Structure 1
Amino acid sequence: MTTNNSLTADIDSPEHPPGMTGKQRIALVVLLTASFTLAVDFSVLNVALPAIGADLGFTIENLQWIATSFALCAAGFTLLMGRIADLAGRRRMFLIGMVLLGAGSLLGGLATTAELLLAARVAQGFATAIVIPAALSLLLGTFAEGRARDRALGLNGSLMAAGFTTGAILGGFLTDLLSWRWAFLINVPIAAAVLVVAPVVLQESRRTRRTALDIPGAITVTLGLLALVFGLTSAAESSWTGSITLISLALAVLLLGSFVLIERRSPFPLVPLPIVVRPNVAWGNVAGVLAFATETSLVFLLTIYLQKVLGYTPLAAGLSFAALGIGTVIGGLVGPRIIARFGSKAAIVGGFVVQGSATMPLALLSDAAASAWLLLGVTFIGGVANLVVIVGFMVTATSGLRAQDQGLGTGLATMSQQVGIVLGTPVMSAVLAVVVLRSDVASSDAVLSGVTTAIWVNGGICLAAAAVIWVFLRPQEN
């Protein structure tokens, strides 16, 4: 192997061992730190919403915009930003996104009005859309396909999933002990540290062919995703049959359908359809959507159960997910080993089967305090299995892509993750609401019945996903 000191030469050599160089380890820490921080931002403010509303004058019906404004930008712009990273340079976009994250977080921590805080959340969401696909592309470029990349993707997946759970716990601690403002301000020194180290250890990508940005495709897909996410969040806040929900979802179908037609005719498509219809890309991303939708919506259901049935405080409810968080970290570590031995398809299918089998016993939850032990045990197992699925999805959906298409592949994977997070809660919320509304009074018994019914649905989706992926996924050999 050549003694060239460049990172690219090290990773591109076929004789390079599966271990990591020192520079690769530092690069991995930088990328994982950024991804974990943004994952935390998805949920860190959930338990702080009442305090924010009281301080800044949000009405009850407008509190949901603190989460919705973030989700709209994070999911709506991620595919576009992933493709722009391909054209403009992934390290450059990563750094721009981290600057925006730091600025938006500082604005949020210092906000004195509702408008300023929403502007901060928009900035954080847009930063997420820029950083996550760029970080994943840089990770793929740092590690060649094989064991080292699988390990890196496993760590990335475990920290992304753990970040969602950690956000609830961290938000509770910061709000109770300091102020909700620290849920924003904590990002500022992290962003600054990443901006200092990243230029040294991350190598810029280079375009290998002449291309251009597909403007009509970019407009239709971005507006279509914004309409989809807005419709899903509207369904969660009001109902699936509300006029705003139906109009938004119909508009999403129209815009995304138009996007497909545009891509068929574009000389420089934003999303080349031959790549999207590859079995590993298409079904890998389906697995990703379902993996994130089922686990994040389960957290929503169990939060309702812990607070409305067992009477836990928000902080105690957040701490109850510590076992789930530990399980996700372990799943991210063992996932690459399972993939190396059995392949990514077996990891996804087996992970869904175990996740569904661990979810079903939660239907036995009752109003007895001892039920918390059941919750801790099975959510730990489900967390391990869910991360095995997520690692398998990431490996499958991003394998076999050319260097110039890695931003597209990671953009699709990131979009799947974020749409899954947004999709799951409205679906489970609708199931819960149907059962609760059948009761004359929204008592704890009615809530418990609704939660357990939704848990059956959640577990059933996991098992159905395993069957679908088993039948249709034909991934490339790992």
Structure 2
Amino acid sequence: MNVALTQTDRTTRRAPGPGAVLAALAAAQFTVMLATSIVNVALPQIRAGTGLSDSGTTWVVNAYGLAFGALLLAGGRVADLFGRRRVLIAGLALFALASSAAGLATSSGVLIAARTVQGLGAAAIAPAALALAVDRFPSGPGRGRALGVWGAVSGAGAAGGVLLGGALTQAWGWPWIFHSVALGAALVLAAVAALVPRDAGRKAGRFDLLGTATVTLALTCLVWGLTTARGSGWTDARVLGALGAAAVLLAAFCVIERRRPNALMPLRLLTTGRVAAGNLLMALLGSVWIALFFFLPLYQQQVLGSGPLATGAGQLPLAVAHMLGAGLAPRISRRIGATATLTAALLTEAAGLLWLSRISAGGSYLTDVLGPSILVGLGLSVAFVQLTTLAVDGVPREDAGLAGGLVNTTRQVGGAIGLAALATLAGSVTAHASTRQPPLEALTAGYRAAFTVSAAVLAATALLALFLTRRTGARIPDTASTHPASDPASDPRTSRLSPIRLDR
């Protein structure tokens, strides 16, 4: 008896603490966000090294975003049914292998295919990691701190990708941006395997193949149409066909899901109003978020004349502000309330973007970029933490992976819509201005227009946030004051698992 107790005590002492588990899961999220932005600065070098055309170069970015955005819902549901830790490890392994293949690619076809598989791995990683974090930290102060860390690493990954991409491209060449991501993913995989406890594994329920295929194809058409519209125009027959097919498939998905007993997207996930509101607002935030990291490096390189390394280093203040804001978000929420915190954060980011709308062709980093970047970083991070909390609050434990996939999907799809619209706007303004202004002045005018509209979108989002919380009668959950609800069905001692079947 004493020997058994001693062995149990030793096992307990050796068990990783919550901080170590959260660090491993947050590192997985950081890796996904890093891969999203790390190629942006290196695109000219990638084009020269692989013989890509101008239109083909955009697919180095689009292929990853397309697979990532289209498969997030499926990745979240697979994680719920087959085990989140298992899916997370498989996703990291696939992500690392695809990153290595991208670094070794000598042709454009291999590179774009590897980026697509990278996106597939990311679609498994992001919802599984978020679900494990939410499950590990129930509602209350602990979850608030955990999601603060989540927000910090998400912003740091996006901004850090620009910095690391610039440094590696200038020092060793573009293949090393992919080799570094592969190495990072392998290290994260080892950390997850060592630190994250095993979950219950397979759970009861059927996997909705028909619903999954329909929504994945719909999101693929939607994201492809939006990304293609940036280069081909909104009246292009392929763009109109893809967007029309997306609308038809999404309508079909809604009909299918209403009739499925084990739907991919059960209506119960949206019935509280908090999940629906959180995802709508996250889509609007995402529409500005992704566009920001597209236009800001372009302004620094094409107008200010910064090199890859200087452009990446210029993102550091934004990344630091983002991490600081994410860490402070739970404390601010405790002091002024979560709804006020979200509104203030959105307005702060809007103010930073409005400041950026005053950039000039003869400006400098210190006068035109540094100050607004700090404001944007602070507002973006706090808003991200609050909206992630809103989007997973009250979700049953068995649907946590799906909720994580949904909030990531809305951010990605919102980002694709926003970037397509803002890129079209910027291009139109630049083309019109080029008839009467020098090239750099015309280019800057397009960027100013994009930042101005982004600020307006965020100001409208802040007002919408107030309206939605009043309309639904559901206050945004205060991460410092809510308490976990008991869920006997989630207790492994009382749950009874049945084999998963494929529902065709």
Deviations 1:226-259 (A, max 9, x none): 1111111112222222222221111111111111
Matched letter for residue 63 of structure 2: S
Note if contact 1:147-1:340 (Cα within 8 Å) is conserved in structure 2: no
- State the distance in 2 between where 1:476 and 1:369 align: 41
Give the length in aligned residue pairs.
464
1:369 paired with 2:363, answer yes
Aligned to 1:445: 441
Q: Which runs of 4+ in 1 moved over 6 A?
A: 3-6
Residues 261 and 185 (structure 1), Cα distance of their counterparts in 2 relative to 1, 3 Å cut: same
Aligned to 1:389: 383
Pairwise mapping of residues 419-434 of structure 1 onto structure 2 (< 5 A)?
419-434=413-428
User: 1:121 offset after TM fit, Å?
Assistant: 0.8
User: 1:70 offset after TM fit, Å?
Assistant: 0.6
Note if contact 2:16-2:195 (Cα within 8 Å) is conserved in structure 1: no
Residue 41 of structure 2 aligns to a residue whose secondary structure is helix
Matched letter for residue 407 of structure 2: A
Residues 289 and 206 (structure 1), Cα distance of their counterparts in 2 relative to 1, 3 Å cut: same
1:59 paired with 2:73, answer no
Residue 17 of structure 2 aligns to a residue whose secondary structure is helix
Residues 170 and 271 (structure 1), Cα distance of their counterparts in 2 relative to 1, 3 Å cut: same
Aligned to 1:346: 340
Matched letter for residue 380 of structure 1: I
- State the distance in 1 between where 2:446 and 2:101 align: 39
Residues 60 and 364 (structure 1), Cα distance of their counterparts in 2 relative to 1, 3 Å cut: closer
User: 1:208 offset after TM fit, Å?
Assistant: 9.1
Residues 370 and 199 (structure 1), Cα distance of their counterparts in 2 relative to 1, 3 Å cut: closer
Query: CA RMSD for the aligned pairs?
Result: 2.2
Q: Which sections of structure 2, spanning at least 5 residues, go unmatched? A: 1-5, 479-504
Matched letter for residue 238 of structure 1: S
Note if contact 1:52-1:180 (Cα within 8 Å) is conserved in structure 2: yes
User: 1:201 offset after TM fit, Å?
Assistant: 2.2
Note if contact 1:153-1:394 (Cα within 8 Å) is conserved in structure 2: yes
User: 1:5 offset after TM fit, Å?
Assistant: 7.5
Note if contact 2:25-2:129 (Cα within 8 Å) is conserved in structure 1: yes
Aligned to 2:467: 471
Aligned to 2:497: none
- State the distance in 2 between where 1:113 and 1:145 align: 48
Deviations 1:175-213 (A, max 9, x none): 110121111111233233223232332223337963101
Residues 5 and 129 (structure 1), Cα distance of their counterparts in 2 relative to 1, 3 Å cut: farther
Note if contact 1:207-1:404 (Cα within 8 Å) is conserved in structure 2: no
Deviations 1:312-341 (A, max 9, x none): 233323322222111111111111222233
Aligned to 1:146: 140
Pairwise mapping of residues 209-228 of structure 1 onto structure 2 (< 5 A)?
210-228=204-222
1:308 to 302, 317, 325: 302
Aligned to 2:247: 253
Note if contact 1:279-1:475 (Cα within 8 Å) is conserved in structure 2: no
Q: Which sections of structure 1, spanning at least 5 residues, go unmatched? A: 11-20
Aligned to 1:68: 62
Aligned to 1:16: none
TM (normalized to structure 1)? 0.92
1:409 paired with 2:403, answer yes
1:129 paired with 2:94, answer no
Pairwise mapping of residues 81-96 of structure 1 onto structure 2 (< 5 A)?
81-96=75-90
Q: Which has the higher contact order (CA 8 A, sep 6+)?
A: 2
1:455 to 446, 451, 458: 451
Deviations 1:147-200 (A, max 9, x none): 111111111112112211111111111011012111111123323322323233
Aligned to 2:170: 176
1:106 paired with 2:76, answer no
- State the distance in 2 between where 1:92 and 1:123 align: 18
Note if contact 2:85-2:132 (Cα within 8 Å) is conserved in structure 1: yes
Pairwise mapping of residues 211-290 of structure 1 onto structure 2 (< 5 A)?
211-290=205-284
Choose 460-469 or 115-124, whichever is displaced more. Answer: 115-124
- State the distance in 1 between where 2:101 and 2:324 align: 35
- State the distance in 1 between where 2:115 and 2:475 align: 37
User: 1:449 offset after TM fit, Å?
Assistant: 2.0
Residues 419 and 4 (structure 1), Cα distance of their counterparts in 2 relative to 1, 3 Å cut: farther
Deviations 1:113-171 (A, max 9, x none): 22222222112111100000000011111112111111111111121122111111111
- State the distance in 2 between where 1:5 and 1:399 align: 34
- State the distance in 2 between where 1:409 and 1:355 align: 26
Note if contact 1:208-1:404 (Cα within 8 Å) is conserved in structure 2: no
Note if contact 1:38-1:128 (Cα within 8 Å) is conserved in structure 2: yes
- State the distance in 1 between where 2:249 and 2:402 align: 19
Aligned to 1:15: none
Residue 213 of structure 1 aligns to a residue whose secondary structure is strand
User: 1:346 offset after TM fit, Å?
Assistant: 2.3
Matched letter for residue 301 of structure 1: F
TM (normalized to structure 2)? 0.87
